[in-house]
Amino acid sequence: MSDTHAQTVAYVRESMTEQREPPLSETGVYKWIHGNMLSTPLNVFLTLVSLWVIWTVLSHVLPWAVFGIWDAASLTECRAIRDELYGADGSVACWAVISERWQQLLFGFYPPEGYWRPVLAFVLFLAAIAPILFSSLPRKLLWLTLAAPFVMFWLIWGGTIWGPICIALGFVLGWAAIHYSGPRIGTLAAVILAIVLPLIYWLVIAGPLAQALSTVLPIGLNPVASREMGGFMLALIIGISGIVLSLPLGIVLALGRQSDLFLINKVSVIFIEVIRGVPLIVWLFTASLLLNYFLPPGTNFDLMLRVIIMVTLFSSAYIAEVVRGGLAALAKGQYEAADALGLDYWKSMRLVVLPQALKISIPGIVNTFIGLFKDTTLVVFIGLLDPIGLSNTIRASTDWNGIYWELFVFIGLCFFIFCFSMGRYSLFLEKTLRREHR
């Protein structure tokens, strides 16, 4: 090499050798491929199998999907176009059914001029849960969360705005009863008052009041009956209202299951186990076939509402288990600290235990929601037109009789996008929580 070595002993190297490129097998694509896919015979085998699987799937699906026909009025027309372009045995998708019916798949039979309403309601929903999910947002936004259900209800079902307002007033009444009479007549009496007063108000005053207000000041949207709703909108309505409505009941059940009171405990356990032990589809059939038996003669409300009631009861059992997990995960010191401060049961739950336990439970609740959202597809069996039900009705029209894959692929993709992003969010939340706990 260089002459600097001349004066020293032969075996000592004094200068750095020139840096060389790493060998080909240790860099770049080659190393990555070798290290990640071909390191051992087993790995080679697995790689080959995977490549084969990917090739088989893609070679069938890609051409079919990519060369699909987007512009046709019926399946026969689609087939004619296909014959012209690719010959009679060419297999291509007929996406035209999606381009013609996608609105129905999303909104059901909701009046087209009112599509903005469910969309706005959905946006409102996202805005309303943001303060719950992201704790960095200002707390004042929680007022929006409290108001959102009423506004969403009004947006989707329409009708006079006074209905939801009058019902919301009942809650204000209940809150006022606790807040103002509590110090004077004792907590228990105040709670009873807060339950009885709004009930009386809703049963007796709310209806006439809403009617009177709407005649004086008619503000309202075109009412839409629930049977006109379908598709993904229906799935979302059932899923979201099921989860939101089941939260209070679920929390009560979870507390009941932890309770020392024998009867309360046993009733909660039995309720939860019975609900969880029986498949949702059986509950849905119960909603559609039997619920009318259990209610006073003559009561009759529409199927969607019955389904929402049943789904609420169903998911409350699952929420209860999630919340129970949250309660159990909370350090025992928290309970003891609350007791040491002299808080009574409800105060310690409300101020110390539940806020923390619920926060831990949010990922679980989101997962329950994903499950419930997927399960809403079962309503097809009782005649509600969810996306899958709609795909059946679309197929029943003479134009599209005989079309399968295109609809299923579209529905599957929509579900995937929604559930996958929710699932990612819940994972992110779990990670944040874990970091906070460390």
Partner 1 sequence: MTTMTDPPGQGFRLSQLIYDTRYRSLTIQMVAMILLMLTFSWLVVNTITNLHALGKDFDFGFLTQPSGYDINQRLVEYDSQSTHGRAALVGILNTLLVAFLGCALATVLGVTAGVLRLSNNWLVSRLMAVYVEGFRNVPLLLWIVLIFALMTEGTPAPSAFRGETPSSSMLFDAVAITNRGVYIPAIHFAAPLFENNFYNWLLVLIVLAVSIFVVKRIAHWASVRQEATGDRPTTWYLTLAILVLPIALLLVLMGAFLDLPSLQGFNFGGGVHLRGSLIALWLALSLYTGAFIAEIVRGGILAISAGQSEAAYALGLRPGTTMKLVVLPQALRVIIPPLISQFLNLTKNSSLAIAVGYMDARSTLGGITINQTGRELEGMLLLGLFYLVLSLAISGVMNVYNNSVKLKER
Partner 2 sequence: MKNTVLLGALTVAGLAAGAAGAATLDDVKARGTLNCGVSTGLTGFSAPDANGVWQGFDVAVCRAVAAAVLGDPMAVNFVPTTGQTRFTALASGEIDILARNTTWTFSRDVDLKFEFTGVNYYDGQGFMVPKALGVSSAKELDGATVCIQTGTTTELNLADFFRVNNISYEPVPIETNAEAQQQYLASACDVYTTDASGLAATRASFEAPSDHIILPEIISKEPLGPLVRHGDSEWGDVVRWSFNALVAAEEYGVTSANIEELASSPGDNPEINRLLGTEGELGAMLGLDADFAKKAIMANGNYGEIFEKTIGEKTPIGLSRGLNAQWTEGGLMYSPPFR
Report, in Å, the least distance between residue 141 CB and partner 2.
16
Q: Which residue in 381, 393, 395, 425 binds partner 1 (CB under 8 A)? A: 381
Query: Which partner from the list partner 1, partner 2, none does 411 bind, CB cut-off 5 to 8 Å by kind?
Result: partner 1
383 backbone dihedrals φ, ψ, rounded to 5° = 90, 10
The yes or no reply on residue 51 touching partner 1 (CB under 8 A) is yes
385, 303 in Cβ contact below 8 A? no
d(CA 275, CA 385): 25
Tokens 């026909």, residue located: 69
d(CA 121, CA 153): 8
The yes or no reply on residue 145 touching partner 1 (CB under 8 A) is no
407, 394 in Cβ contact below 8 A? yes
**Nearer to partner 1 (CB atom), residue 144 or residue 191:** 191
**Nearer to partner 2 (CB atom), residue 79 or residue 359:** 79
**Nearer to partner 1 (CB atom), residue 127 or residue 185:** 185
Helix (H, G, I), strand (E, B), or coil: what is residue 399? coil
Q: Which residue in 30, 134, 416, 428 binds partner 1 (CB under 8 A)? A: 416
Query: Which partner from the list partner 2, partner 1, none does 24 bind, CB cut-off 5 to 8 Å by kind?
Result: none
Query: Which partner from the list partner 2, partner 1, none does 389 bind, CB cut-off 5 to 8 Å by kind?
Result: partner 2
d(CA 205, CA 191): 21
The yes or no reply on residue 211 touching partner 1 (CB under 8 A) is no
Residue 159 pairs in a beta bridge with 221
405, 93 in Cβ contact below 8 A? yes
Structure tokens at 25: 């097998």
Site string for partner 1, 358-377 (x = CB under 8 A): ------------x---xx-x
The yes or no reply on residue 396 touching partner 1 (CB under 8 A) is no
The yes or no reply on residue 142 touching partner 1 (CB under 8 A) is no
Query: Which partner from the list partner 2, partner 1, none does 394 bind, CB cut-off 5 to 8 Å by kind?
Result: partner 2
E strand or H helix that includes residue 162: helix 162-185
Residue 69 pairs in a beta bridge with 94
Query: Which partner from the list partner 1, partner 2, none does 377 bind, CB cut-off 5 to 8 Å by kind?
Result: partner 1
Report, in Å, the least distance between residue 266 CB and partner 1.
10
From first CA to last CA, the distance across the chain in angstroms is: 56
CB atoms within 10 A of CB 389: 20
d(CA 327, CA 250): 12
The yes or no reply on residue 273 touching partner 1 (CB under 8 A) is yes
d(CA 306, CA 301): 7
Amino acid at 434: R
Query: Which partner from the list partner 1, partner 2, none does 341 bind, CB cut-off 5 to 8 Å by kind?
Result: none
130, 137 in Cβ contact below 8 A? yes
Select from 23-31, 121-129, 291-299, 328-336 the region that touches partner 1 (CB under 8 A).
291-299
Q: Positive or negative CA dihedral for 249, 252, 258, 259?
A: negative
Q: Which residues bind partner 1 (CB under 8 A)?
A: 32, 35-37, 39, 43, 46-47, 50-51, 53-54, 188, 260-264, 267, 273-274, 276-282, 285-286, 289-290, 292-297, 342, 344, 370, 374-375, 377-378, 380-381, 388, 404-405, 408, 411-412, 415-416, 419-420, 423
